């Protein structure tokens, strides 16, 4: 099984990169499943039902989110209608939507996507490690899941690394999102779990984590109110990983960075 997981999509330019490159990647690498983190897709803040449909239309199977999930109010009722979008599982009880779901690829293989948010330097949510344990009491590789993918949305690299080691051998792959900066540590852990601390963003890297650099720099320099935060608008780099998963064990055999377009050096798997 081969899965593509794309980092946080930021603004219109990030959306354009997904729309342009995902269909090509699906065909070129014979991808079985595509996951995209879309929490910043609407001008850098949240996502809308229309954007969700745009992503599904080009071959995205599941959309994850994060701390900006409710920034666009019209997405809230959408969670009761659309099973292909997830919010973090450790949000408070009663929050719309869910943070784990089972999907099927074209060959009928069971792909379980899990979504959690970290707590260091983030909102004071329920314990993500306890939430992960609860999910793994329900979903198990080799039993009722052929692959398990976790998007762990968080600020601190230490917390994301700890989660990766915590579930090593129990899930297929753990990827971090949220910082919008790709890390250089894509690897398969000793127990067989693919891992990367942060995927980076699908957005314009001539910016400050996807926001226009002039506005962001002024905020740091002057410590005064500035113009409204706006997503940078030049060509985006699509940042992702491609993961190969053994059909027999559900564990990763390889994980490779994917970077296309924009300012970052390109990286395409052989």
Question: What is the spatial distance between Cα 65 and Cα 88, in angstroms, rounded to a whole number?
Answer: 7
Per-residue pLDDT at 224: 79
Per-residue pLDDT at 227: 79
- Model pTM score: 0.97
Q: Tens-of-pLDDT digits for all 270 residues of the chain? A: 999 999 999 999 999 999 999 999 999 999 999 999 999 999 999 999 999 999 999 999 999 999 999 999 999 999 999 999 999 999 999 999 999 999 999 999 999 999 999 999 999 999 999 999 999 999 999 999 999 999 999 999 999 999 999 999 999 999 999 999 999 999 999 999 999 999 999 999 999 999 999 999 998 898 777 778 899 999 999 999 999 999 999 999 999 999 999 999 999 998
Q: Which residue has tokens 């990030």?
A: 14
Per-residue pLDDT at 149: 98
| Cα–Cα–Cα angle for 39, 210, 231, rounded to 5 degrees | 80
Any catalytic annotation for residue 21?
no
**Domain layout of the chain by residue ranges:** 2-260
Q: What is the 8-class DSSP label of residue 179?
A: S
CATH level 2 (architecture), domain 2-260: 4-Layer Sandwich (3.60)
Per-residue pLDDT at 27: 97
CB–CB of 118/164 below 8 Å? no
Q: Which of 68, 78, 153, 180 is catalytic?
A: 68
Per-residue pLDDT at 225: 77
Give the per-residue SS3 of 116-171.
Answer: EECCCCCCCCCCHHHHHHHHHHHCCECCCECEEEEEEECCCHHHHHHHHHHCECCE
Question: What is the spatial distance between Cα 112 and Cα 101, in angstroms, rounded to a whole number?
Answer: 6
Per-residue pLDDT at 64: 98
């Amino acid at each position: 099984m081969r899965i593509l997981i794309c980092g946080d999509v930021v603004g219109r330019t990030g959306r354009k990169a997904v729309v342009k490159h995902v269909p090509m990647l699906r065909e070129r690498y014979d991808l079985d499943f595509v996951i995209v983190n879309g929490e910043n897709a609407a001008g850098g803040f949240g996502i809308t039902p229309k954007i969700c449909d745009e992503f599904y239309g080009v071959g995205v199977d599941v959309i994850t989110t994060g701390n900006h999930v409710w920034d666009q109010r019209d997405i809230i009722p959408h969670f009761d209608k659309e099973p292909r979008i997830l919010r973090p599982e450790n949000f408070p009880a009663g929050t719309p939507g869910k943070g784990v779901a089972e999907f099927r690829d074209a060959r009928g293989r069971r792909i379980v996507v899990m979504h959690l948010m970290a707590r260091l330097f983030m909102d004071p949510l329920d314990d993500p490690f306890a939430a992960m344990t609860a999910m793994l009491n329900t979903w198990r590789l080799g039993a009722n899941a052929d692959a398990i993918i976790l998007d762990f949305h968080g600020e601190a690299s230490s917390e994301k690394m700890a989660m990766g080691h915590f579930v090593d051998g129990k899930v297929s792959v753990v990827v971090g999102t949220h910082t919008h900066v790709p890390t250089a540590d894509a690897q398969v852990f000793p127990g067989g779990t693919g891992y990367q601390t942060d995927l980076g963003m699908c957005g314009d890297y001539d910016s400050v984590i996807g926001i226009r650099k002039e506005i962001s720099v002024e905020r740091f320099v002057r410590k005064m109110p500035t113009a409204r935060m706006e997503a940078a608008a030049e060509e985006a780099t699509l940042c992702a990983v491609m993961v190969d998963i053994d059909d027999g064990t559900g564990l990763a055999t390889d994980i490779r960075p994917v970077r296309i377009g924009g300012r970052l050096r390109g990286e395409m798997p052989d």
